[in-house]
Amino acid sequence: MREFLVEITTTVPEGTAQDEVDRRRTAEAVRASELAATGRLARLWRPVGELRSIGVWRAADEEELHEKVLGTLPLRPWMRLTVTPLESHPNDPGRVDGAR
C-alpha cells in the first residue's frame, strides 16, 4: 500500500443549514475512525490557527485513494484536496522496510 500526504481545506457552502453541517461533521468523525481502523488514515493534523487538515493516507494507488477512501468522506463535496504521493527515504529513522 502506498502513502499519500493529503492537505484538506473544507469550505461549507454559503447558505448551508447548521443541522446539515453538524450531521456531516458527525458522520465525518465516524468515517475517519473507520478509515483509521483499516489503516487507510494513518495520521491527521491541524496546523495551529488554521482551518485545514494535513494527513497521511494509504491506498493502493491515487485512483483508489480518491474513489474508495477520500471519496467516502461525508464532507468530501466541500473539500479542496492537494495530494502528494510519498515514497520511502533512505534516511528515514522510522523506516520499517529494512532496506538501506
pLDDT tens for each residue of the chain, 100 residues long:
999 999 999 999 999 999 999 999 999 999 999 999 999 999 999 999 988 999 999 999 999 999 999 999 999 999 999 999 999 999 988 877 655 4
Its domain, for residue 7, covers 2-86
Q: Is residue 43 part of a domain?
A: yes
| pLDDT in the model for residue 51 | 86
Q: What is the CATH number of the domain that holds 66?
A: 3.30.70.1060
Q: Is 64 exposed, middle or buried (0-12, 13-18, 19+ CB in 10 A)?
A: middle
Is 100 contained in some domain?
A: no
- Name the pTM for this structure: 0.90
Q: Is residue 97 part of a domain?
A: no
- Please return the burial class of 6, using the count of CB atoms within 10 Å of its CB with bins 0-12, 13-18 and 19+: buried
* Rounded Cα distance, 15 and 10, in Å: 15
Query: Does 47 reside within a domain?
Result: yes
> What backbone phi and psi angles, to 5 degrees, belong to 50?
-120, 155
Number of domains in the chain: 1
Distance CA 58, CA 85 (A): 10
Residue 99 falls within a domain, yes or no?
no
